[in-house]
Each structure stands twice: as structure tokens, then as C-alpha cells.
Amino acid sequence: MEDPSHRPDPVFDSPWHAQVFALVVHLNERGLFTWPDWVARFSSALRQAGLSQALNGGDDYFAVWLDTLEQVMLEQGLAGVEDLTDMKRAWERAYVQTPHGDPVHLEDPS
Amino acid sequence: MPHDTSDPQQPPHSHLPSDPSLRVKALETILTRKGLIDPAALDEIIDTYENRIGPQNGARVVARAWADAAFRTALLEDADPVLAQMGFNGRQGEHVVVVENTPERHNMVVCTLCSCYPWPLLGIPPGWYKSDAYRARAVREPRKVLSEFGVALPEGTAVRVWDSTAEVRYLVLPMRPAGTDHWSEDQLMRLVSRDSMIGTALARRPDTGGVAGQEGAE
């Protein structure tokens, strides 16, 4: 194992890691789930993910964090699979339709 | 479907973010529209962890424990009220236990389940702390892992590995390096690396004076 203490680590490697981390912390603080519940769900998902490949603690770690959050939101009836797919497509369209350099905005909800 | 942003036939549009990035955006939009989250609060959380919370908090605690015997005793007995007084409260209501390194015992922290970590004291854990390799091996072969971090302990020093949970997080109080008798708290802080508070390094020696890369050297 390489000694990583010789270089400064960025806190989050990608902006989406920070976003999904903050979402979970915020939803916990808003009382949508307790922290021990989150840890139980997340660690179980992490164990499942680690069965098929060795996780390096970077992108793959936060991918499990995101999968778990989506699953919890689905179970609580707050965001269904279709809602998520539709909203993701809406964001894709917004990016594709926005000229490079302009701020990307989602079309207004119909 | 992903779009090929490099296709010269297509007009130049905004760079399409990665799949997980779009999924996070989708979740965030849905939850915001339902009034369940406040985007400003998300920004505040990210700013806190990127800029305001980090190993400097834990280093302050360690340096004070080295410099102030009464503080050290209180910290080892019951860390929560001591840390609360310093403003280092856990957001998730977790308890912090401080474990002290001695010539007889070296402490090392892991979270075998996931990546529980004393956020208010050390910030967000580094990638290796979250990796399967560290989580699996820290318990099984701690001395080997330590040696890979450059830490060689005397034979008479036992290694104790602490497994963090959602409720209890650990902070290692490293041994104070010799030759620092009259150092101030601020000077001492420079000897305390993040890894020394996880237990995968020792405190820096005073002759290296806080130069990065020297922790772990015997």
C-alpha cells in the first residue's frame, strides 16, 4: 500500500462526491433517517459491492453511497425510479442544449 | 444516452457531466422541488468539510493534550464534553473516544463496516481509509499495514486496532516526541499529522519540524 501521507489529498476528488455526501448529511439532519440506519444500509451495500471487486475508496465508494441514497429515497416514496430517470434525462437535455460556457438551467417543471 | 461531445459534427454544447453526477443532480432537483432539502444548506455542508473542518482540529486537541496534563486526563476520561467545549461537536450525535499511544501500546483506527471517522476532528477520510484493502487488512495484519505506511514499532509495543461504528469514533493521541519540552501548543500542532491521529503514522520529530513526509519515520 502506497503511503499517501506524502501528498495532500483533496477533500473530495469530484464535485459529485461532495454533492452526494452533503445530500446524505443534510437529509439526516432533516430527520429523514438516523445516522445508524444510514450506516447500516450503506455498509451492507458496500459489502455487496466489494464482493465482486476490490473497492479503492474513491469513485466506487461514492457510487455505493449514491446507490444507497437512491434506494432509501425510493423506499420512502420520495423519488421513484421513473422520476429519477426522467429528471436525469431532463438534465442531459439541458446540458446538450446549452451552448458551451453558458450556465446550464433545467427547463421549468411542466 | 451519453452524447459524444467530441463529435465534430455536433454543435459545441456544454460538457455533459458523468452518469453519477447527473443522477445526483436529478435527486437534488426532485428533493428540492419537494421542499425536502435546501440547496444553500448543501453548499454550507460542502464548504464546511472542504474549508473549515480538517486535521488541524484534531491536531489542536492533541497538542493541547500534550501541553496540558489536566486537559489530557479529562480528554481520555470522557472526550465528548471536552471536544464540545472546543466547538468540535459531531453532527451525527456520535461519541468520540480518544486512545493514547504509549511505549507499550500503539493504537490504530479502522472502520471495517464502511468508513466511520471522527469528521469534526479530521474532516473527510482519505481514499485509502475507505478502501477495501485497508478496511480488511488493518485488523488482520496491522503490523504489516503499519510497515507499509513506514511505521516500524519496537517489538515490545503491542498494536491495538479500534473498529469505528456509527456511534463511536476514535482519535489516536500519538506519543509526544522527545525534545519538545518547552514548545508552545502552536509549535506542537505542527508535529501532528492526520495519519498520526488515525494511527498509521507517528508524530513528526522536532528536527523535521512539521515538514510533510517525515511522519512514520522512527
Which position has the higher pLDDT, A2 or B68?
B68
Q: Is residue B83 part of a domain?
A: yes
Q: Which of A12, A16, A99 sits opposite B21 (nearest CB)?
A: A16
Q: Is residue B158 part of a domain?
A: yes
Residue range A7-33: mean pLDDT, rounded? 88
Q: Is residue B108 part of a domain?
A: yes
Phi, psi for residue A28 in degrees, rounded to 5: -65, -45
Active site residue B193: no
The pLDDT value given to residue B209 = 54
For residue B215, which amino acid is it? E
Range with lowest mean pLDDT among A48-52, A100-104, B8-12, B138-142? B8-12
A63 chain-B contacts, CB cut-off 8 A: 20
Report how far Cα B112 is from the mean position of its chain's Cα atoms. 15
Active site residue B164: no
- The DSSP letter of residue B31 is H
The pLDDT value given to residue A93 = 92
A13 chain-B contacts, CB cut-off 8 A: 127
Q: Are A66 and B24 in contact (CB under 8 A)?
A: yes
Residue A108 has pLDDT above 90, yes or no: no
Q: Do A43 and B14 touch (CB under 8 A)?
A: no
Tell me the HSE value of B94 on the side-chain side, using a 13 A CA sphere. Answer: 25
The pLDDT value given to residue B16 = 87
Per-window interface: B 112-151 vs A, CB < 8 A? 113-116, 123-124, 126-134, 137, 145, 148-150
> How is chain B split among helix, strand and coil, in percent rounded to 5?
45, 10, 45
Q: What grid cell was written down for A55?
A: 473497492
Q: What is the pLDDT of residues B119-159, one digit of tens each?
A: 999 999 998 999 989 999 999 999 999 999 999 999 999 99
A-B interface: how many C-beta pairs under 8 angstroms?
202
Active site residue B6: no
Q: What is the pLDDT of residues B161-179, one digit of tens each?
A: 999 988 899 999 999 999 9
A contact test, residue of B38, B132, B140, B169 with most A CBs within 10 A: B132
Q: Are A90 and A105 in contact (CB under 8 A)?
A: no
First CA to last CA across chain B, in angstroms? 54
Active site residue B21: no
Report how far Cα A9 is from the mean position of its chain's Cα atoms. 20
Q: Is residue B18 part of a domain?
A: no
The pLDDT value given to residue A19 = 95
The pLDDT value given to residue B218 = 31
Range with lowest mean pLDDT among A20-29, B11-20, B142-151? B11-20
Range with lowest mean pLDDT among A44-58, B8-22, B48-62, B180-194? B8-22
Alpha-carbon distance of B218 to B150, in angstroms, equals 8
Match 478496511 to its residue by C-alpha cell. B135
Q: How many domains does chain B have?
A: 1
Which one from B21, B114, B131, B184 is the annotated catalytic residue? B114
The pLDDT value given to residue A51 = 76
The pLDDT value given to residue A103 = 85
Alpha-carbon distance of A84 to B27, in angstroms, equals 7
Range with lowest mean pLDDT among B66-70, B77-81, B214-218? B214-218
Cα distances from A55 to residues A59, A60, B119, B145, in angstroms, run 9, 6, 21, 17
Residue B23 has pLDDT above 70, yes or no: yes
The pLDDT value given to residue B214 = 39
Q: What is the pLDDT of residues B69-124, one digit of tens each?
A: 999 999 999 999 999 999 998 777 789 999 999 999 999 999 998 889 999 999 99
Alpha-carbon distance of B114 to B132, in angstroms, equals 9
ipTM of the complex in this document: 0.88
pLDDT interval class at B9 (50, 70, 90): low
Range with lowest mean pLDDT among A5-9, A57-61, B26-30, B59-63? A5-9
The pLDDT value given to residue A109 = 61
Q: For residue B194, what is the domain's CATH number?
A: 3.90.330.10
Residue range A69-87: mean pLDDT, rounded? 95
The pLDDT value given to residue A71 = 96
The pLDDT value given to residue B211 = 46
Q: Is residue B184 part of a domain?
A: yes
Q: State the residue range of the domain holding B183.
A: 51-208
The pLDDT value given to residue A6 = 40
